[in-house]
Chains A and B, each alone.
Chain A
Amino acid sequence: MNLRSVDIPLLTARKLLFWAGLLLLATVVCVGVYSFIGGAPIGDGRFWASKVWQLRVFRLLAGAVVGSALAVAGMALQGLMRNPLAEPYVLGLSSGAGVGVLLGPLLAQWTIVPDWLSAPLLALAGALLTAIVVYAVAQRHGFLNPYVLLLSGVIVNVFNGALILVILQFVKQTDMIQFIGWGMGKLPEWLWFESRLLWLCGAVTAGGWAVIFLRGASLNALGLGDEVAASSGVAVSWLRVELFIVIALMTSAAVSLAGPVGFVGLIIPHACRLMVGPDHRLLTIISGFVGAIFLMTADTACRLLGEAIKVGELPVGVITALVGGPVFILMLRRREGKGQL
């Protein structure tokens, strides 16, 4: 028997390019199609200048950024922790970034940082701080206990949630509805006249995505344990630091745009892993685009559903949580059944 008779599709550069091209196309098509869906009072026929068009396209672009940032960050977190249940939302990174985003407008008057930039910067600080706390609680001599990891994520989430409630006390009654929608994860509608945040978060997401893609082979090695990875040529401690920073950056980008949207980083990598296998190089490409498409679809569904039941619009975080919660429980039960977590 030789290797040639074994039918295993090996990963090639051509395969990576094929998937990247195909899914990029699909993403663009989605932006185009979804922006035409639904009631469109175009007005005097100048569609391209209409608010509806601008509103929807910018919102869809934001959805693409948020979806891919969360999906790729989730996948990287799972690879790094060797735990498919790790996710920015579950581990409290999203709520940490959320505290930062809410503090932004309150603190902006005392800093020289421009208003629009203070929220994402504070989000990054919040996400990094949360990541350090959760990691420090869950690790013993560099080894992570997966149960303690999830538990510390839960606890940090509750803590951050309390901070958010405290901050909300300082919010005007009239703005409350908006803040509550944001707290559930909602794509913004004002990006067409203030798009700097979108470009910044898009750039951060693209950069982080590229870094994680380049570390895909190292993440594969890390799946075999720290020592095996290190002896295969991976600088493990540096990889941890680097990827934690990248994950925090991407989570902050997503949360700055849309608030803490839950479970995207869990569902998307999991579904993609079922489809194309666990190789992190291919998985980075695929889950990024699928995340983008998923979130745009979910948001469009929310928009239509909201119109249909006449409650305005549902926050997209409601749908991701309704889908993600059960998926999380199913995954947990199945892994428990196999005696591993």
Chain B
Amino acid sequence: MTTEPVLQATDLHFAYQAQREVLSGVSLGAAAGKLLCILGPNGSGKTTLLRCLLGQLLPTRGNVQLDGKSLRRMSPRKRARLLAYVPQFPESAFAVSVLEMVLIGRLAHAGTLGLAGKHDLNVAREAMKMTDTLDFANRTLGELSGGEAQCVMIARALAQQPAVMLLDEPTSHLDIRNQLKIYGMMQRLAHDWRMAVICVSHDVNLAARFADELLLLRTGRVIAHGPVSAVIQPDLLGQTYDVDIRLYTPDDDSGPLIWAQ
């Protein structure tokens, strides 16, 4: 079992406009087999950080290493074989079937025309089995519920067979049942599929319950980064969100509940 991080960001700085840094020296590491949740208030730089980790924004200083190589110098195709992304809101401009959508995840593995072969179909099948989406393989995104659509997006990312999966608030518009489902899925991807899973999250309780590691971000700086028990502390959370935090520990030892006021 490796503990070496697959994705390693060192001292990231980023500014959309000069003199106004959104990220000021963020470092983090994501290891295979771990679910890392990034928490922080609105405007703390979570999305910017995610875009830097995806290689879609170039940090003004610092660098991101993916599988030991600099992300900056990697071609989009090579990057896509190591790193997959799940957006906050699933969208599809045209009425593409779910299976076709999942097969788009095979693009970086396929030839120029991106035609799917037998192996691609098998990978897609595994990805859809894992995410419970096989049953609506020939439906379109518009015919699915929000939770189902998000599962399809995860299946699509999974079809890339990545080492790292990044998710941007994947449950922000879902009901409780689907939130639990998606978090459970992310946990299985990390623990059973040995991926490094990084999820930007707004729900402190869900993140604390499912994640292995947490990162607290505030105004572009890391407040805390480590195992859940070390990060879920009233003072650290309070400092991050600017609220009073109390922790309640239920009798069944299922981890602390976070109460903000």
Complex: A3 Cα to B93 Cα, angstroms? 24
14 of the cross-chain contacts (CB-CB < 8 Å) are A3-B124, A3-B134, A6-B99, A10-B121, A217-B104, A217-B110, A217-B114, A220-B96, A223-B93, A225-B91, A232-B80, A277-B95, A279-B100, A281-B114
- Interface residues as binary, B104-116 with A (CB distance below 8 Å gives 1, 0 otherwise): 1101101011111
Chain B interface residues toward A at CB < 8 A: 51, 54-56, 75-77, 79-81, 83-85, 87, 91-97, 99-101, 104-105, 107-108, 110, 112-116, 121, 124-125, 128, 134-135, 137-138, 153, 156-157, 160, 166
Q: Which of B56, B87, B92, B110 contacts A223 (CB 8 A)?
A: B92
Do B83 and A231 touch across chains, with their CB atoms under 8 A apart? yes
Contacts of B104 in A (CB 8 A): 217, 220-221, 224, 232
* A216 interfacial contact with B, CB 8 Å: yes
Complex: A277 Cα to B96 Cα, angstroms? 8
* A82 interfacial contact with B, CB 8 Å: yes
Do A3 and B96 touch across chains, with their CB atoms under 8 A apart? no
Q: Contacts A220-B96, A221-B104 given: A231-B84 contact, CB under 8 Å?
A: yes
Q: Which of B54, B75, B100, B114 contacts A231 (CB 8 A)?
A: B54
Contacts of B77 in A (CB 8 A): 233
- What 11 new A-B contacts, CB under 8 Å, besides A13-B113, A217-B114? A3-B128, A6-B134, A11-B116, A12-B115, A217-B107, A224-B92, A225-B87, A232-B108, A233-B81, A277-B96, A279-B96
Do B137 and A273 touch across chains, with their CB atoms under 8 A apart? no
* A230 interfacial contact with B, CB 8 Å: yes
* A2 interfacial contact with B, CB 8 Å: yes
When A and B form their complex, which 8 residue pairs have the shortest distance between CB atoms, in order from nearest?
A217-B114, A233-B80, A233-B108, A278-B94, A231-B85, A82-B93, A233-B77, A223-B93
Name the interface size band of chain A.
35 or more
A271 to chain B, nearest CB (A): 14
Do A3 and B125 touch across chains, with their CB atoms under 8 A apart? yes
Complex: A58 Cα to B75 Cα, angstroms? 46
Do B79 and A13 touch across chains, with their CB atoms under 8 A apart? no
Whose C-beta in chain B lies nearest to the C-beta of A6?
Answer: B137
Do B113 and A281 touch across chains, with their CB atoms under 8 A apart? yes
User: Per DSSP, are chain A's interface residues mostly helix, strand or loop, or mixed?
Assistant: loop
Do B87 and A228 touch across chains, with their CB atoms under 8 A apart? yes
Complex: A217 Cα to B105 Cα, angstroms? 11
Q: Which of A180-217 contact B (CB under 8 A)?
A: 214, 216-217
* A235 interfacial contact with B, CB 8 Å: yes
* A311 interfacial contact with B, CB 8 Å: no
B217 to chain A, nearest CB (A): 20
* A35 interfacial contact with B, CB 8 Å: no
- Interface residues as binary, A1-31 with B (CB distance below 8 Å gives 1, 0 otherwise): 1110011101111001000000000000000
Complex: A84 Cα to B94 Cα, angstroms? 8
Complex: A137 Cα to B117 Cα, angstroms? 42
Q: Which of A62-94 contact B (CB under 8 A)?
A: 79, 82-84
Whose C-beta in chain B lies nearest to the C-beta of A215?
Answer: B112
Do A227 and B76 touch across chains, with their CB atoms under 8 A apart? no
Q: Contacts A220-B96, A224-B91 given: A214-B113 contact, CB under 8 Å?
A: yes
Contacts of B125 in A (CB 8 A): 2-3
Complex: A11 Cα to B115 Cα, angstroms? 7
Q: Contacts A1-B134, A3-B128, A8-B137 given: A214-B112 contact, CB under 8 Å?
A: yes
Complex: A228 Cα to B75 Cα, angstroms? 15
Complex: A214 Cα to B108 Cα, angstroms? 14
* A234 interfacial contact with B, CB 8 Å: yes
Contacts of B114 in A (CB 8 A): 216-218, 220, 281
Do B107 and A233 touch across chains, with their CB atoms under 8 A apart? yes
Q: Which of B81, B95, B135 contacts A278 (CB 8 A)?
A: B95
B84 to chain A, nearest CB (A): 6
Contacts of B51 in A (CB 8 A): 227
